[in-house]
């Protein structure tokens, strides 16, 4: 048998860490690793993508969907550089990812050799663990620590390895005297923190002292659904959900007011504006302007990470630990609130909000309103669908019209809010859960950034359904220019793309719809198609993503933007005015 190479040790160590999938693209800086993967393909599959950025998104999404370590692999120089945006996505959303890259020959580094990019230096800011492997006996301990660090610190670990070392027999590298053989283990132990009883009492006292409590529950509360609903019931407190926490409780629960932020609901915004006590659970929702005014509410925060306590709001009590476990300890200390009016007010608000969403989602106007597509899709998706979205106005449409229920999973790039993640996120879902319905709800701008990944869907016969909202515009930015800044729209128009034809070229079943009356049928056909399919939904480019409560300042900026010469201003003004009139009557 051939002697084990350093790359063999690397891949064997990954297998011991239960890594079953690596996303990436081969290259001459990682040939040794690719060969070790080839001979172990029955234990560890390699998903070959079309752009390393997608591989990093895949790894991030794999971690988000499964809670396990996501792994991506890229070659030296350009391959590694391409990973960076997806790795920042993982860093900012706290997804454990291991990125493996190649370096040039160990004895040519920093000599202007080809692809001479020291990726460990480049990745210094993105990575919580970042190491350059120096020899065959340095592989196992480095990879073990990389996996353990990424998982325990919920971040990116990066390991890079000179190409010549990869295929060298481990025995060729003399082991140093202090490097005792087999001194590491793949044991993964999690920190289990629990607040002291006095801390729980203090937190309960604060929450019990209020009359109007709101709960803000994010990504860190995804496995605390049952406990949150019990707290909501006891305190008559509406649960407000930042986007990554969409799955915390089902959208049809009487205890939630749905999303928060520009793409959220009016009752959520009102609950945070008027609460006198706030319970933040597993959330670092970044939009400070949506929190209660500092000082207007007494607040308690539960988070697994002590550095996040008090990050966004001046909380009086912090409870560090797993959301579900901490809530279970807190629950017996909470008093049932007799006055249910705050929750009832929120429920009334939600009835009105849902009517408004139904109205917006069922308009028969032409051009078709984008909300119609999200609304129709919501009716068709199964209760265990996995839905990935992208950054743009599309995020608003799906956030508001998709009713999270059952075992659904939903994600997007939350804190980085990068474009182009939607399709790779969906690909990762379809790789892991081939039997589930997987949907990418994406904009035309975002899809074109990594459109090559349609080929990945075909290559692996992935059950990914892409719904592309074609408004021929970088819509989100167009509205930001107009409504937030009062500037005329500039450089947001997109060259129209015939996505249905492009999809066919990739070998993806393709569908088109521009008629709201047909939208449901077309989506149904696409969802029923075997394997990957794409629906090009051509929509009204002038439909605004209305904030939950438009401020006077926004209205005035919008007017200024039109007055200062936004192209097609009469059409835009007409669309906004007719939407508003219809919603008032
Ligand atoms: C990589 C990246 N580039 C630019 C942006 C800024 N940005 C945010 S949303 C958006 C427009 C998205 O356009 P599209 O995908 O067509 O969706 P739409 O807003 O039209 O629904 C842009 C340019 C970003 N978030 N990420
Ligand atoms: Mg667009």
Lowest-pLDDT range, 121-125, 354-358, 479-483, 574-578? 574-578
Q: Is 446 in the pocket of ligand 1 (CB under 6 A)?
A: yes
**pLDDT higher than threshold 60 for residue 1:** no
**Residue-level pLDDT at 354:** 97
Q: Is 541 in the pocket of ligand 1 (CB under 6 A)?
A: no
Chain segment 104-162, per-residue pLDDT in tens: 999 999 999 999 999 999 999 999 999 999 999 999 999 999 999 999 999 999 999 99
Residue intervals of the chain classified under CATH 3.40.50.1220 are 197-348
Q: How confident is the model at residue 347 (pLDDT cuts 50, 70, 90)?
A: very high
| Strand, coil or helix: 27 | coil
Q: Is 21 in the pocket of ligand 1 (CB under 6 A)?
A: no
Q: State the chain's mean pLDDT as an integer.
A: 96
Tell me if 215 sits within 8 A of 231, measured CB to CB. Answer: yes
**Residue-level pLDDT at 204:** 98
**Phi, psi angle pair for 503, to nearest 5°:** -60, -45
Q: Give the distance from CA 233 to its chain's centroid.
A: 29
Q: Three-class SS string for 519-582?
A: HHHHHHHHHHCCCCEEEEEECCCCCCCCCCCCCHHHHHHHHHHHHCCCCCHHHHHHHHHHHHHH
Ligand 1, residues 391, 441, 449, 495: which to mutate, most atoms within 8 A of Cβ?
391
**CATH number given to 197-348:** 3.40.50.1220
**pLDDT higher than threshold 60 for residue 585:** no
Per CATH, the homologous superfamily of domain 363-584 is Thiamin diphosphate (ThDP)-binding fold, Pyr/PP domains (3.40.50.970)
**Residue-level pLDDT at 584:** 60
What does the alpha-carbon distance between residue 335 and residue 65 come to, in Å, rounded to a whole number? 36
Q: What token pair was written down for 81?
A: 């550089």
Percentage of residues of the chain with pLDDT beyond 90: 91
**pLDDT higher than threshold 80 for residue 578:** no
Q: Give the distance from CA 63 to its chain's centroid.
A: 10
Q: Of 139, 111, 141, 142, which is closest to residue 127 (Cα–Cα)? A: 142
Q: Output the residue whose Cα is nearest ligand 1's atom 11.
A: 474
Once rounded to an integer, what is the mean pLDDT over residues 351-365?
96
Once rounded to an integer, what is the mean pLDDT over residues 488-496?
96
**Closest ligand 1 atom to Cα of 390:** 15
**Residue-level pLDDT at 565:** 87
**pTM, 2 dp:** 0.97
Higher-scoring residue by pLDDT: 74, 3: 74
What does the alpha-carbon distance between residue 474 and residue 448 come to, in Å, rounded to a whole number? 11
- DSSP class per residue in 461-503: T--EEEEEEE-SB-HHHHHIIIIIT-PPP-S-B-----HHHHH
Look up tokens 């069922």; give the residue: 362
Q: Is 265 in the pocket of ligand 1 (CB under 6 A)?
A: no
Chain segment 539-576, per-residue pLDDT in tens: 999 999 988 988 878 888 888 888 888 888 888 888 88
Once rounded to an integer, what is the mean pLDDT over residues 70-88?
98
Residue intervals of the chain classified under CATH 3.40.50.970 are 6-172, 363-584
What does the alpha-carbon distance between residue 444 and residue 373 come to, in Å, rounded to a whole number? 14
Per CATH, the homologous superfamily of domain 6-172 is Thiamin diphosphate (ThDP)-binding fold, Pyr/PP domains (3.40.50.970)
Once rounded to an integer, what is the mean pLDDT over residues 300-310?
97
**Residue-level pLDDT at 291:** 98
**Residue-level pLDDT at 564:** 87
């Amino acid at each position: 048998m051939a002697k084990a190479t350093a790359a063999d040790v690397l891949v064997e160590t990954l297998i011991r860490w239960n890594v079953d999938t690596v996303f990436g693209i081969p290259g001459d800086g990682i040939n040794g690793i690719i060969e070790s993967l080839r001979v172990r393909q029955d234990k560890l599959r390699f998903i070959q993508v079309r752009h390393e950025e997608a591989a990093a998104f895949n790894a991030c999404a794999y971690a988000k969907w499964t809670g396990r370590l996501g792994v991506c692999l890229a070659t030296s120089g350009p391959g590694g550089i391409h990973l960076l945006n997806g790795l920042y996505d993982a860093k900012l959303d706290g997804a454990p990812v291991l990125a493996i890259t190649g370096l040039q020959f160990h004895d040519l580094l920093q000599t202007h050799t080809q692809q001479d990019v020291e990726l460990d230096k480049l990745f210094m800011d993105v990575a919580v663990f970042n190491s350059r492997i120096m020899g065959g006996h340095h592989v196992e301990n480095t990879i073990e620590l990389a996996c353990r660090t990424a998982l325990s610190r919920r971040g990116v670990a990066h390991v890079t390895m000179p190409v010549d070392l990869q295929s060298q027999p481990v025995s060729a590298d003399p082991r140093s005297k202090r490097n005792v053989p087999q001194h590491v283990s793949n044991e993964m132990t999690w920190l289990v923190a629990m607040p002291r009883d006095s801390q729980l009492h203090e937190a309960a006292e604060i929450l019990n002292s209020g009359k109007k409590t709101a709960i803000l529950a994010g990504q860190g509360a995804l496995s605390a659904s049952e406990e949150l609903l019990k707290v909501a019931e006891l305190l008559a407190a509406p649960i407000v959900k930042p986007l990554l926490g969409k799955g915390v409780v089902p959208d049809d629960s009487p205890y939630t007011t749905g999303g928060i932020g520009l793409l959220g609901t009016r009752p959520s915004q009102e609950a945070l504006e008027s609460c006198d006590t706030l319970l933040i659970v597993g959330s670092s929702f970044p939009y400070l302007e949506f929190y209660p005014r500092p000082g207007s509410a007494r607040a308690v925060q539960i988070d697994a990470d002590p550095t996040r306590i008090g990050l966004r709001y001046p909380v009086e009590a912090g409870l560090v630990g797993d959301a579900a476990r901490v809530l279970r300890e807190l629950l017996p200390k909470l008093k049932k609130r007799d006055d249910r009016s705050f929750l009832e007010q929120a429920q009334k608000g939600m009835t009105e909000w849902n009517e408004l969403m139904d109205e917006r989602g069922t308009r028969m106007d032409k051009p078709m309103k984008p909300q119609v597509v999200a609304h129709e899709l919501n009716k068709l998706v199964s209760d265990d669908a996995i839905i990935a979205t992208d950054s743009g106005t599309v995020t608003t449409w799906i956030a508001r019209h998709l009713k999270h229920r059952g075992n659904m999973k939903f994600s997007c790039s939350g804190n980085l809010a990068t474009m182009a993640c939607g399709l790779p996120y969906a690909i990762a879902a379809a790789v892991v859960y081939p039997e589930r319905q997987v949907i990418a709800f994406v904009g035309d701008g975002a899809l074109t950034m990594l459109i090559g990944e349609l080929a990945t869907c075909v290559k692996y016969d992935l059950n990914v359904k892409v719904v592309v909202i074609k408004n021929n515009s970088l819509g989100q930015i167009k509205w930001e220019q107009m409504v937030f800044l009062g500037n005329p729209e500039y450089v947001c128009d997109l060259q129209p793309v015939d996505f249905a034809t492009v999809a066919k070229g990739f070998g993806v079943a393709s569908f088109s719809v521009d008629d709201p009356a047909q939208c449901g049928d077309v989506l149904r056909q696409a969802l029923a198609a075997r394997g990957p399919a794409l629906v090009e939904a051509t929509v009204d480019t002038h439909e605004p993503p209305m904030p939950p409560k438009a401020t006077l300042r926004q209205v005035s900026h919008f007017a200024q933007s039109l007055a200062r010469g936004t192209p097609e201003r009469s059409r835009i003004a007409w669309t906004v005015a007719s939407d508003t009139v219809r919603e008032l009557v």
